[in-house]
Amino acid sequence: MYVRALSLLDFRSWERAELELPPGRTTFLGSNGNGKTNLVEAIGYLSTLGSHRVSADAPLIRMGAQRARIGATVVNTGRELRIDMELNQGTANKAQINRSPVRRPREILGILHTVLFAPEDLSLVRGDPSERRRFLDELATARLPRLAGVRADYDKVLRQRSALLKTAGRNARSSSRGTELSTLDVWDGHLAAHGAVLLAQRLRLVHELYPHLAQAYGSIAPESRPASIAYRSGYLPMEFQDPARSPQPDDEEQLEAILLRELGNARQKELERGVCLIGPHRDDLELMLGSAPAKGFASHGESWSFALALRLGAFELLRTAGTDPVLILDDVFAELDRRRRTALAAVAATAEQVLITAAVPEDVPPELDANPLRVETTGEADRRTSRVSEACGTIGGDHSHAGEDVADG
């Protein structure tokens, strides 16, 4: 799989961009603030419908514009598909497949698979559980695109149920109490049904990711303690949570029954606190080095190694389906020592397409032999635009269109 063409309109710093990209390895070179990360961020957005840098879409729209557009032509086993996204200020986003509108943007999920490694990935190890839940859910959705709808339904039910818990908790002596509690029973059923599907996919993913993660970490940091992962939940039986010891739990009916039982047991506490205490929105992916949790105990180098191993494990897991995802390496080589650079370069050398951003050519391992493109900002201080041009000649492919019609102004 590879992205053959990328087009941007009013996305981040790009007023306009049209790029032709080959398979193989391409490096976008430029100092910070020139827009190189914005290019790969746009590609990542088409893969996940989210940015690896911000949680909302508004910052992705160029200042002064009402909407942004991202388009890409994706080649997979010889077949081309065009996907387009329109990000709007204050109204719903829109999507197209082969220039035909689709009902929901999430219908484009599964067309383009990417694995993106960036400095922000250190939060996978050191950050909040929400970062690790997002990692699991995005990877699970890449493998099963219909899970995006399940996640949306779960989030909607969670919001509705949480609002009802607050209301019922305040109205403990009200005449409407009985109606509110019976309505809560209905929302319990919806939460358990959607939550069970999400849980089953997360547990399956952790079981299948575990050996890839362990192998990747061992190759990056062979002198370190072995790395492992486990799913952590306060309501699931422990035998479901450790992929090294237990069979893969994928019985959605069993998981739904567990959720319903635990929601009932926690009802009084939830009413007192006005929050939903049971469900996959409270869970975590535990990262272990030997017998100690990586968070709080791993050194800076070990944390980087674990974050990199998670991404490399995800890459290997996705490619078991028969197609390489696009590997995106956003300004990471400068953060890595020689061993980690070498390990990452070894994987990158086998991928069908690798897109790299770097400040200077020396940041990129020479064995990658990547085609360099220069990204720079031009224009007056109040009208700055980014443009791409060939840098240092062309290596490994024809990029005669790479610098044409890139920036307006």
Q: Which residues are annotated as a binding site?
A: 30-37
CA dist 101 and 350 (Å) reads 35
3-class state of residue 320 by DSSP: coil
For residue 231, the cross-strand partners are 285
- The structure tokens listed for 373 are 């493109």
- The structure tokens listed for 130 are 């929400």
| Stretch (H or E) spanning 376 | strand 371-380
CA dist 398 and 254 (Å) reads 55
Q: Which residues are annotated as a binding site for ATP?
A: 30-37
Reference 12, options 38, 33, 36, 30; nearest CA is 38
* Helix 177-220 and helix 147-170, axial crossing angle in degrees, nearest 10: 140
Tell me if 52 sits within 8 A of 44, measured CB to CB.
yes
DSSP state of 165: H
Angle at 109 between CA 375 and CA 29, to 5 degrees: 10
- The structure tokens listed for 41 are 């961020």
Tell me if 41 sits within 8 A of 106, measured CB to CB.
no
181 CB neighbour count, 10 Å cutoff: 13
Give the position of tokens 């709007």.
88
Q: How many CA atoms lie within 13 A of 137 on its CB side?
A: 25
3-class state of residue 383 by DSSP: strand
